[in-house]
């Protein structure tokens, strides 16, 4: 059965409205402060450490992103926590909020399809996250320039730019997950709790659980199979994928993300950096995985939303 | 009057094995106010949602201006304004901004928007609070804002779900006046309600819903004849006189006579017999104190019908 009219009708209107809601909301105020504080803390930690450790590092600028100093974690691990929180904060009441305000049936009785409403909300959420992340990224680079006094090289800029794009995709995964639960659960509090619970599970518990599960299935004498299975299982979690991408992109000397046989290392110069595109290739499956995960989750919420009854 | 604007034929909605709407058929004519009445959970809202294309149709067909809501929902939704049961608005936005959002969704050209929004707000008497946030609005004001949205949209059909639900008497009277004025401007109206007496005053025709089916349909007077037997009830209060009861009972056209208390007579008759009844009282040398004609009320029809249905059910169960 073919529907008449475009599914995108009204999309722009929804995006603009949701965007203006996000940008004027109290949540956004909190997000802005988080962004500024995280940038300051990360730069402070990294710079004091970078100055102490090395002056001859060819990728000094990347150290801004990856160096940790006790008790503060590095900027990338900050982001690993902050981005899901931001995304879940923006998405957990996207659809059930409309239900509870009893605006859903009124909006859907206007000449638009449900597609426009759901997709508009996703785009607006992702745009808000992108704005925050870009600001954070620029802040970090600007502060780094000021405090290190060394301009970044072209390749470094390329790497941090790719890192920015990957972070946005990572945010997309959690936003899509939060929106999926906002479609499934009528209560916003339930949706938020379930999403946060799943996030904690995938980020904290799953990486620890994966080797244990692998041990249960793989014969213990096959060490390589054990490691590979554990890694495959761990990669179900978007946090693991994000961590691996960061490793490949921001540490140019990373040559592989899996186990390596000694024979494969013949002729390799240990510790020498890879060119940018080789690093991207190393992390390519993970990058595609992140993007695919957000698309799949969005499709899931799309299907659930299309079939949902709109009555309150 | 041209053809019907809404046609439902054998419209059904099933959830698994449960049937929420069981093959209902009705039409709404142009410029008419049609009431869907019945207890909560009788399938009124589900019927409305199917007409709007917001809920899948399990069986039968629906046409709104000749469009199929399942296949051409946008065409249907362009023509129809919908006021949901206890309508909600974005509390953090002003009344005008809420309408502005809808106006952009509808696709009203930028230059026209402001004029139409403020015109609509004026029509429902909310122009004074156009720039106030909706969070401060009472329930009645929200319902009126919902009507303003329909006015702004320029809809040719307004579908109102329980429009007076939860309103105080004053607010619901005002709302009914607005509904009448909508009708006067040529909008056809389909409204659902479980508040019978309120609805009676505005509806041209009604359909009584019960358990997903339309059990009765027609004008209130038609239903009265159908269910209550006689269409007219004349109440006479008289003092003194001789054989008044006998004289009244002998009038041609009287089906039955009841005497609820001495001096009061209730005649069920085929037509308006007030003049004849007065003459009969005077002829019997009684003093006529009061004479009134009871229009059949929906409330009566409704209770009587369901009492009858319940008794029939008991009989069937016993058999």
Is the CB of A310 less than 8 angstroms away from the CB of B54?
yes
DSSP 3-state assignment of B259?
strand
Structure tokens at B175: 């709302």
Is B32 within 8 Å of B60 (Cβ atoms)? no
- Residue B218 sits at the chain A interface (C-beta within 8 Å): no
Q: Is B208 helix (H, G, I), strand (E, B) or coil?
A: strand
Cα B38 to chain centroid distance, Å, stands at: 10
Q: How far is B54 from chain A (nearest CA, A)?
A: 7
- Predicted local confidence at residue A54, as pLDDT: 60
Interface test with B, best of A105, A307, A310 (most B CBs within 10 A): A105
B 275-294 residues inside an 8 A Cβ radius of A: none
CB distance B75–A13 less than 8 Å? no
Give how far A8 is from chain B: nearest CA, Å: 11
Residues 5-64 of B with CB under 8 A from A: 45-46, 49, 52, 54-55
Contacts of A113 in chain B (CB under 8 A): 73-74
Token pair for residue A274? 């890879």
Give chain B's residues under pLDDT 70.
1-2, 228-231, 313, 316-319
Quote the minimal CA–CA distance from B238 to chain A in Å: 54
Residue of B nearest to A100 (CA): B88
* Geometric angle at alpha carbon B178, from B176 and B182, rounded to 5°: 115
Judged by CB atoms closer than 8 Å, whether chains meet at A5 and B75 is answered as yes
Task: Report how far Cα B126 is from the mean position of its chain's Cα atoms.
Answer: 25
- Of residues A9, A17, A109, nearest to B52 (C-beta): A109
Which of A105, A111, A309 lies nearest to residue B106, judging by beta carbons? A111
pTM given for the model: 0.87
Does the N-terminal peptide bond of residue A71 adopt cis geometry, omega within 30 degrees of 0? yes
Given a cut of 50, the residues of chain A with pLDDT beneath it are none
Number of CB atoms found within 10 A of residue B241's CB: 18
Please say whether the beta carbons of B267 and B277 come within 8 A.
Answer: yes
B101 touches chain A (CB under 8 A): yes
Question: Which runs of consecutive H residues, i.e. helices, occur in chain B?
Answer: 44-52, 73-79, 95-106, 110-123, 139-153, 169-184, 196-200, 220-228, 244-249, 274-283, 298-318
Determine, for residues A101 and B88 on separate chains, whether the beta-carbon distance falls below 8 Å: yes
Minimal-distance CA residue of chain B relative to A105: B84
Angle at the Cα of B237 from the Cα atoms of B235 and B238, rounded to 5 degrees: 140
- Is the separation of the CB atoms in A36 and A44 below 8 Å? no
Interface residue A278 vs chain B (CB under 8 A): no
Cα–Cα distance between A94 and A302 in angstroms, integer? Answer: 13
CB contact under 8 A, A4 and B101: no
Say what the pLDDT of residue A303 is.
Answer: 94
What chain A residue is nearest to B70 in terms of C-alpha separation?
A3
8 A C-beta contact, residue B144 and residue B125: yes
**Neighbour count for residue B318 (Cβ, 10 Å):** 6
pLDDT of residue B1: 47
- Tracing tokens 């793989």 back to the chain, one arrives at A218
B154 contact A CB<8A? no
Q: Which residues make Cβ contacts (< 8 Å) with residue B34, sequence separation at least 6?
A: B6, B26, B28, B188, B189, B190, B191, B203, B204, B205, B206, B207
**Helix or strand or coil: residue B306?**
helix
3 state SS of A275: coil
What is the spatial distance between Cα B171 and Cα B165, in angstroms, rounded to a whole number? Answer: 10
- Distance CA(A144)–CA(A67), nearest Å, equals 13
Tell me how far apart the alpha carbons of residues B220 and A198 are, in angstroms, rounded to a whole number: 58
- Cβ B244 vs Cβ B238: under 8 Å: yes
Interface contact A111-B77, CB threshold 8 A: yes
ipTM (interface pTM): 0.87
What pLDDT, on the 0 to 100 scale, is given for residue B298? 78
Of B120, B99, B124, B118, the residue nearest B175 (C-alpha): B124
DSSP B251: S
Q: Determine whether the interchain pair A109/B54 forms a contact, defined as Cβ–Cβ distance below 8 Å.
A: yes
pLDDT of residue A47: 79
Question: How far is the C-alpha of B109 from the C-alpha of A8, rounded, in Å?
Answer: 18
pLDDT tens column, B44-94: 999 999 999 999 899 999 999 999 998 899 999 999 999 998 899 999 999
Q: How far apart are the CA of B197 and the nearest CA of chain A, in angstroms?
A: 26
Q: pLDDT value at position A312?
A: 59
Contacts of B104 in chain A (CB under 8 A): 10, 13
pLDDT of residue B169: 87
Neighboring chain A residues of B75 at a CB cutoff of 8 Å: 4-5, 111
Any residues with CB less than 8 A from the CB of A131 and at least 6 apart, and which? none
DSSP for B102-140?
HHHHHT--HHHHHHHHHHHHHHTT-GGGTTSBGGG--HH
- Please check whether residue B73 is in contact with residue B123, taking contact to mean a CB–CB distance below 8 angstroms: no
A106 shares contact with chain B (CB less than 8 Å) = yes
Nearest CA in chain A to B153: A110
Q: Which residues of A are less than 8 Å from B73 in CB distance?
A: 3-4, 113
Q: What is the CA radius of gyration of chain A?
A: 22
Of A3, A21, A106, the CB nearest to B87: A106
């Amino acid at each position: 059965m073919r529907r008449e009219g475009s599914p995108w009708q009204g999309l722009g209107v929804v995006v603009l409205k949701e965007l203006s809601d996000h940008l004027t909301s109290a949540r956004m105020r909190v997000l802005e402060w988080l962004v500024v504080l995280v940038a300051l803390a990360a730069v402070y930690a990294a710079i004091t450490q970078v100055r102490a450790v090395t002056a001859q590092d060819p990728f000094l600028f990347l150290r801004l992103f990856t160096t940790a100093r006790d008790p503060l974690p590095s900027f990338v691990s900050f982001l690993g926590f902050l981005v899901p929180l931001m995304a879940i904060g923006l998405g957990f009441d996207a659809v059930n909020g409309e239900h509870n305000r009893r605006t859903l049936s009124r909006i859907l009785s206007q000449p638009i399809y449900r597609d426009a409403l759901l997709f508009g909300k996703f785009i607006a959420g992702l745009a808000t996250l992108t704005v925050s992340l870009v600001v954070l990224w620029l802040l970090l680079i600007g502060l780094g320039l000021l405090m290190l006094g060394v301009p970044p090289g072209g390749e470094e800029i390329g790497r941090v730019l790719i890192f920015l794009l990957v972070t946005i995709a990572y945010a997309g995964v959690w936003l899509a997950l939060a929106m999926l639960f906002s479609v499934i659960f009528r209560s916003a509090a339930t949706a938020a709790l379930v999403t946060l619970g799943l996030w904690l599970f995938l980020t904290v518990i799953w990486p620890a659980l994966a080797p244990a599960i692998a041990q249960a299935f793989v014969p213990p004498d096959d060490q390589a199979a054990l490691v590979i299975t554990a890694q495959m299982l761990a990669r179900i979690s978007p946090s693991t994928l994000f961590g691996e991408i960061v490793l490949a992109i921001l540490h140019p000397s990373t040559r592989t993300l899996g186990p390596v046989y000694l024979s494969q290392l013949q002729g390799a110069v240990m510790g020498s950096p890879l060119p940018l595109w080789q690093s991207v290739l190393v992390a390519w499956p993970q990058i595609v995985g992140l993007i695919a995960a957000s698309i799949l989750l969005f499709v899931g919420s799309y299907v659930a939303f299309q079939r949902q009854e709109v009555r309150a | 009057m041209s053809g019907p604007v809404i046609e439902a034929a054998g419209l059904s909605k099933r959830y698994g094995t449960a049937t929420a709407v069981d093959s209902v058929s009705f039409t709404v004519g142009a410029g008419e106010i049609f009431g869907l009445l019945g207890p909560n959970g009788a399938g009124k809202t589900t019927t409305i949602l199917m007409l709007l294309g917001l809920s899948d149709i399990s069986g039968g067909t629906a046409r709104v201006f000749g469009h199929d809501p399942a296949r051409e929902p946008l065409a249907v939704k362009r023509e129809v304004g919908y006021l949901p049961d206890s309508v909600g608005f974005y509390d953090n936005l002003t009344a005008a901004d809420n309408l502005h959002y809808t106006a952009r969704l509808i696709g009203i050209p930028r230059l026209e928007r402001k004029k139409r929004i403020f015109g609509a707000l004026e029509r429902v008497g909310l122009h004074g609070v156009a720039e106030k946030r909706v969070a401060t609005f009472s329930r009645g004001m929200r319902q009126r804002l919902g009507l303003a949205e329909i006015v702004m949209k320029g809809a040719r059909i307004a579908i109102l779900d329980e429009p007076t639900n939860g309103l105080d008497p004053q607010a619901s009277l005002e709302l009914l006046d607005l509904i009448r004025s909508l009708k006067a401007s040529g909008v056809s109206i389909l409204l659902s309600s479980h508040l019978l007496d309120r609805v009676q005053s505005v509806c041209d025709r009604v359909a009584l819903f019960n358990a997903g089916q339309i059990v009765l349909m027609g004008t209130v007077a038609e239903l009265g004849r159908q269910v209550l037997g006689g269409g007219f009830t004349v109440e006479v209060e008289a003092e003194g006189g001789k054989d008044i009861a006998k004289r009244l009972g002998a009038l041609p056209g009287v089906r039955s006579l009841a005497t609820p208390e001495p001096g009061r007579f209730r005649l069920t008759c085929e037509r308006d017999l007030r003049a004849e009844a007065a003459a009969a009282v005077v002829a019997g040398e009684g003093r006529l104190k009061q004479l009134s004609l009871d229009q059949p009320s929906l409330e009566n029809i409704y209770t009587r019908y369901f009492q009858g249905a319940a008794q029939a059910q008991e009989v069937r169960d016993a058999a």
